[in-house]
Amino acid sequence: MDVDHHEELCQVLADHARRYPLMDHRDVIKLIFQNEFGGEHLISEPNATLAWLRAERASTPYDPTVSPVEDIGNGMVRVALAAMEFTDSALRTLNRDFVRSAQLHVGRRKTFLEKLDALRMLAEDRLFAFTRQELERYLEGYIKSGCCPLSHSPAYRAAYRPAYRVVKRCNSLVALAWELERLRDQGGRALVAIDGRCASGKSSLAACLAQRLGLPIVHMDDFFLRPDQRTRERLAKPGENVDHERFLAQVLEPLAAGKPAVYRPYSCRTGTLGEERVVEPAPVVLVEGSYSCHPELWDCYTRRVFLTVEPEEQLRRIQGRDGLDRLKDFRERWIPLEERYFSAFQIEDRCDYQLEF
């Protein structure tokens, strides 16, 4: 067994061994199981998982010393219930993250068994409180029984009071909020793009994050092409119905350099540029709107978020927001233009987060 093949997992196990010295073999195997399979085995029906989450949160005391998000490798994280004062809306969001992550994350028994081999090698090096021989005795029966999910050991529960949900980091709104909070508190200069399908909730998500974390927002809607820019040649190219040149020069480059962004927003309603706006540099600035992840802008961002929505729900939201008359225009014009852009540049797959909101 080549331990280097699972180098990330070995580092995760070493970190957890230091953080939780009372881990026994069951706790470590549970961690590896979650690393490989996520939380799929816990999903029955979303409403049932929400009721379970609410009950567990109610019995979990708030503890600000607990890390909100803990990396367990393979793109998975544990979101701690004790670390945040969840509103019921936030619990529903976490439950949705949990269910969606379980549906999207697929593990393999073969890979899981390889990871148990890596654990054997680490146990040989006395990384844990148990020996290689103790681990082997347990694994013999565990593998024969079918490698079922495990509960934490009594000692681990008593010492660390685990209460969390396992989610894919890239599909977790809670993980995104936590990462933005960390970026903000580090005091650097981070630009974060929120792109995605129309009516997927980009503006609402940006407003929610801005209010919670105190972040400024710039809207890509303010940079749609002016009439004189809408040439046949330009509009024939994917993603070119936004003035990314002006956006780069007036917003992203100044903010990245620690200077104010000064620009005049374009109004589609009046067809004119409005009064000058100024966005001061900040540790984190949110850029919200379609085409914000355009290839000409991509490298300016620290993180990129993609919001998606089911087609039926998308049309329902558009009709509720813009009316039946505008729905036809979205179906025949704006949605196809967006989808061509997403497909041409593989925007959804390349973003750091893929969320439903």
Q: What is the domain-level CATH number for residue 178? A: 3.40.50.300
Assess whether pLDDT exceeds 50 at residue 1: no
Look at residue 40 in the predicted model and tell me its pLDDT: 67
Residues 139 and 183 grouped into a single domain: no
Residues 125 and 225 grouped into a single domain: no
Task: Among 165, 185, 206, give the residue marking a domain's end.
Answer: 165
d(CA 84, CA 65): 10
Total residues found in the chain within this entry:
357
Look at residue 47 in the predicted model and tell me its pLDDT: 73
Task: Among 165, 198, 218, give the residue marking a domain's end.
Answer: 165
**At residue 168, what are phi and psi to the nearest 5 degrees?**
-75, 130
d(CA 66, CA 323): 46
Residues 140 and 180 grouped into a single domain: no
Q: Which domain holds residue 121?
A: 3-165
d(CA 286, CA 303): 10
Residues 148 and 199 grouped into a single domain: no
Q: Chain centroid to CA 54: how far?
A: 22
Residues 22 and 113 grouped into a single domain: yes
DSSP-H helix ranges across 66-201: 88-104, 109-124, 132-144, 154-160, 173-186
pLDDT band at 230 (very low <50, low <70, confident <90, very high): very high
SS3 207: helix
Residues 218 and 130 grouped into a single domain: no
Rounded percentage of the chain residues whose pLDDT exceeds 70: 97
- What does the block give as tokens for 266? 């374009």
Number of domains observed in the structure of the chain: 2
Residues 55 and 184 grouped into a single domain: no
d(CA 316, CA 310): 10
d(CA 307, CA 286): 14
CA angle 14, 16, 19 (to 5 degrees): 115
C-alpha pair distances (Å), 165 with each of 78, 91, 182, 282: 5, 11, 20, 32
Assess whether pLDDT exceeds 60 at residue 50: yes
Greatest pairwise CA separation for the chain in angstroms: 76
| Tens of pLDDT, residues 190-227 | 999 999 999 999 999 999 999 999 999 999 999 999 99
Assess whether pLDDT exceeds 60 at residue 4: no
**If you ran DSSP here, which 8-state letter would residue 196 be given?**
E
Look at residue 121 in the predicted model and tell me its pLDDT: 92
- What does the block give as tokens for 342? 């997403």
How many beta carbons lie within 10 A of that of residue 339, not counting itself? 12
Residues 277 and 231 grouped into a single domain: yes
Task: Among 117, 144, 165, give the residue marking a domain's end.
Answer: 165
Whole-model pTM: value is: 0.87
Residues 78 and 178 grouped into a single domain: no
| Tens of pLDDT, residues 57-67 | 999 999 989 98
Residues 156 and 201 grouped into a single domain: no
Residues 153 and 206 grouped into a single domain: no
SS3 128: coil
For the residues 305-313, what does the mean pLDDT come to? 96
Residues 151 and 263 grouped into a single domain: no
